[in-house]
Chain A
Amino acid sequence: MTSQAYQDRYEQLLAQDMYSLNTAEKEGALLPVIQALHQHHKLHSPAYSRLVQHYRDQPDTIEDVPFLAVRLFKLFSLSSISDDDVFRVLQSSGTTSQTPAKVILDRITSARQSKALVKIMQNFIGKQRLPLLVIDAPSVLKNKALSARAAGIQGMAFFGRQTVYALNDDMTLNTDALNSFQKLYADQPVLVFGFTFMVWTCFLEALKAQKLSLSLPHGALIHSGGWKKLTDKQVDNPTFKREVTRLTGIPRVHNFYGMAEQVGTVFVECEQGHLHVPEMADILIRDPYSLAVCENKTQGLIQVISSIPTSYPGFSLLTEDVGRVLGQDDCSCGRSGKYFEVLGRLPKTEVRGCSDTQVSV
Chain B
Amino acid sequence: MTNQEKLTQAFCDALGIGPDQVKDDLQYNTIKEWDSTAHMVLISELENTFDVMLDTDDIIDMSSVAKAKEILAKYDVSF
Contact = CB atoms under 8 A, between A and B. Distances in A.
Interface of A: 87, 107, 110-111, 114-115, 118, 121-122, 127-129, 141, 154, 157-161, 163
B68 to A, nearest CB: 15
Given A157-B36, A157-B40, A129 B55 contact: yes
A127 B40 contact: no
A6 B4 CA distance: 37
Given A87-B29, A107-B29, A110-B29, A122 B56 contact: yes
A123 B40 CA distance: 21
B37 A127 contact: no
A129 B56 contact: yes
Given A127-B55, A158-B59, A158-B60, A141 B37 contact: yes
Interface residues of B, number: 15
Contacts of B54: 129
Given A107-B30, A129-B53, A129-B56, 8 more contacts: A118-B57, A122-B57, A128-B53, A129-B55, A141-B37, A157-B40, A158-B56, A163-B40
Interface of B: 28-30, 36-37, 40, 44, 53-57, 59-60, 63
Contacts, number: 42
A128 B60 contact: no
A114 B54 CA distance: 17
A21 B57 CA distance: 22
A118 B36 CA distance: 14
Contacts of A160: 40
Contacts of B59: 118, 129, 158
A252 B13 CA distance: 37
Contacts of B53: 128-129
B37 A159 contact: no
B29 A111 contact: yes
